[in-house]
Chains A and B, each alone.
Chain A
């Protein structure tokens, strides 16, 4: 069952991505992008990463794609509605994509999966999904851990050093929040109602 769902969502994600590349109508591309991104979110749910899946849905499907379509609708005229790639662009894309694929394949090949599997077996006994992500009550428990880790405390012990408390991610969290605050203030500054100065008015008219 899990394999079947994984295949289904994996195929949908990959197929959606292929259709994004093959289509030329921007709005249809956005639709296939939604298919691809939502399937990726479902893959996250299958893995027991409920928080990441929800973020994927909220940020990418609900946020980014809506803004993308909004932009297309506002500017939909002439060359931007249909995208035709020239052969040179296709060649560039193939080279970059091929290099990235090669890197991914190399990375996957270099991981010693058997060792990880045995480590997880030793640590949790019989697969990590039973204890870590989803338990038998069907309650994902990743959120509390993520939240605590972002505030600087990690409850999951390091198997190599069980007596040592691992540091959380308080500094990145604070940097990100400051960054977002700066972005908000900047957006408000740019979008504020500009007072017309008499000299600029005279020069423009």
Chain B
């Protein structure tokens, strides 16, 4: 089968249904549409949330009118306005690169979503290198910003682009080091497995595992702020110093593509932080997860997991917004000092500490909670039955049967 489209269930189901070679293609289209929805809709919601939260923080109301109450359709109105604007390119700009730069940012940010599991088994491309490849794809986002800064033919933009590069060189190292800590604990780069390991009570989440991972979560969160160009690391944009930094010369749709990508990657790193440290799609109440897995099972349990993950990630995004409107911006030398001089040694120390903890206190969490409340791994939720394997008959057969039928037949055939 075509490897890149290898989302076994949907594509095989469609192949069964349509009896043609177009099954994988249709499945790929469905995947793209779904990932596109996960990419675009939260971004729109968070743009509204940013305006609303910033308004409240500054003792204003924020948007109130569009959509009836609370101005909840404000993002849509913004989008309509931006589409109608003229698409300008300055005379001094390198036109080709200027036009292409927003697409690089959006493609990188969008492609990173392909590797995220949004719930147990809900991922477009499930790979053993999941985390690594997601970070690799996300790191190419910087290129678009740098090109935008360079190609605009403006001093403000050039400064923004240069700051972004300098910032990227400094934050990538602690980002990689802190992301490795859950990998070392879980023994896998697969985001699915890392999140699945944190089932049971919230003391099984990697944040609460030991003091080192708890600090590592905060380091990771700080560094993802830098990777998203969010305040206090928004030097590339720096609207109070550089007009709008690399965005200065952009207008209309291209400008809004940059913003779409920014808010989408805010959501992306929040989901990533949840998967790595905050227990992924698990509620954190062992009994509840267990009950859901046993009584509801299959598809509805996954929908619940998706909602839980969405709420966790949404809260993290709100914290990012809150940080942006309360903290002042760092200077570029302060950013580099923070990332390279302090966060890199801290991340190295935390990595060493968590590895040593894993070696000498295996299975023991920081507060001894799992020891007291669950003498063994008894409160761990069994991993939900995979849809693409032969599922034993369960209470929720009606829900699962649709998605299991085709793969079961496939399994017997091969």
Contact = CB atoms under 8 A, between A and B. Distances in A.
A62 B136 contact: yes
Given A58-B135, A61-B143, A69-B165, A138 B125 contact: yes
Nearest to A129: B3
B342 to A, nearest CB: 14
Most buried by A among B24, B143, B189, B386: B143
A62 B143 CA distance: 7
B161 interface: yes
B165 A31 contact: no
B30 interface: no
A5 interface: yes
Given A73-B150, A136-B8, A143-B128, A34 B133 contact: no
A48 B189 CA distance: 17
A137 interface: yes
B142 interface: yes
Given A27-B151, A142-B128, A66 B143 contact: yes
Secondary structure of the A side of the interface? helix
Interface in B227-253: none
Nearest to B1: A136
Contacts of B190: 139
A133 interface: yes
Contact of B146 (A69, A141, A143, A144): A69
B3 A137 contact: no
Interface stretch (B80-88, B94-102, B205-213, B291-299): B94-102
Main secondary structure of the interface of B (DSSP, over half): helix
Interface string A138-176: 111111100000000000000000000000000000000
A38 to B, nearest CB: 8
B2 A31 contact: no
Contact of B139 (A46, A62, A137, A139): A62
B150 A27 contact: yes
Interface residues of A, number: 41
A7 B371 CA distance: 57
Contact of B133 (A53, A63, A136): A53
B127 to A, nearest CB: 5
A67 B189 CA distance: 27
B3 A138 contact: yes
B224 to A, nearest CB: 16
Contact of A1 (B25, B161, B162): B25
Nearest to A61: B140
A53 B134 CA distance: 12
Interface string B1-17: 11111111000000000
B165 A66 contact: yes
B37 interface: no
B8 A69 contact: no
Nearest to A41: B136
Contacts of A31: 97, 100, 147
Contact of B168 (A5, A46, A66, A134): A66
Given A62-B136, A73-B158, 13 more contacts: A27-B94, A31-B100, A55-B136, A57-B140, A66-B165, A70-B146, A70-B165, A73-B146, A73-B165, A136-B1, A138-B6, A142-B128, A143-B129
Q: Sorted from nearest, which 6 A-B pairs have the closest CB atoms?
A: A138-B6, A62-B139, A58-B136, A54-B133, A134-B3, A57-B136
